[in-house]
């Protein structure tokens, strides 16, 4: 699968480009965006650029990965949604996880849910992955709400030992 892209009513989900580094670095430098990601640390521009390289490497290696999410009306990168392996939680491995991260100015419009529905369909139907999990830090209620809106079912609470924070695990039915 060389260049998958998905169009939803308002969004374009696509692979990453060099010009995504600036807007992605800006969102990863926002403490509110990073608050419930690992230990909550913000990322430098170099770290954000390295992450994009890693996302692209994963697409090439696995045939799935994190999509860059662009707003169709402006062509602006607003975040990502996609599939990855939750290596930080060995007790549920092997597994494929759906995750998301959006720039703060885009929150509250249903974009994360719209993108995630399309990615779940891509993973379950197009790729034939039998089950997809999703994991949020317990205080990240917006992400928990998205998992519920997606029709996922609560599985368990667990400890993310990489940062010492507790998480909730959801699974597709």
Question: Angle 29-118-112 (CA atoms, 0-180°, nearest 5)?
Answer: 35
Site for ligand COA in 6-65 (CB under 6 A): 33, 36-37
Q: Which listed residue (12, 42, 107, 171) binds ligand COA by CB under 6 A?
A: 107
Cβ-based nearer residue to ligand COA, 64 or 80: 80
Q: Let me know: does 65 contact 84? Beta carbons within 8 Å.
A: yes
Q: Helix 141-149 crosses helix 111-121 at what angle (to 10 degrees)? A: 50
The span of 9-17, 66-74, 95-103, 122-130 binding ligand COA (CB under 6 A) equals 95-103
Class of residue 131 by CB neighbours under 10 A (exposed 0-12, middle 13-18, buried 19+): exposed
135 closest CA partner among 106, 108, 162, 104: 162
101 binds ligand COA (CB under 6 A): yes
Least separation, in Å, of the C-beta of 2 and ligand COA? 28
Q: Which listed residue (48, 96, 112, 133) binds ligand COA by CB under 6 A?
A: 112
Q: Let me know: does 142 contact 32? Beta carbons within 8 Å.
A: no
77 binds ligand COA (CB under 6 A): no
Which parts of this chain interact with ligand COA (CB under 6 A)?
33, 36-37, 99-102, 107-113, 136, 140-143, 145-146
């Amino acid at each position: 699968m060389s260049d998958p892209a998905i169009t939803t009513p308002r969004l374009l989900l696509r692979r990453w480009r060099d010009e995504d580094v600036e807007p992605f670095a800006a969102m990863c430098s926002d403490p509110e965006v990073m608050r419930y990601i690992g230990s909550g640390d913000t990322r430098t521009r170099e770290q954000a650029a390295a992450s994009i390289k890693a996302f692209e490497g994963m697409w090439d290696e696995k045939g799935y990965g994190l999509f860059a999410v662009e707003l169709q009306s402006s062509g602006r990168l607003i975040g990502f949604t996609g599939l990855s392996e939750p290596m930080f939680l060995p007790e549920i491995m092997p597994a494929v996880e759906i995750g998301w991260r959006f720039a703060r100015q885009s929150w509250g419009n249903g974009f994360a849910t719209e993108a995630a529905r399309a990615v779940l369909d891509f993973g379950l139907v197009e790729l034939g992955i039998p089950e997809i999990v999703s994991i949020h830090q317990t205080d990240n209620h917006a992400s928990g709400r998205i998992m519920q809106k997606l029709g996922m079912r609560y599985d368990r609470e667990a400890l993310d030992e990489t940062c010492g924070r507790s998480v909730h695990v959801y699974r597709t039915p």
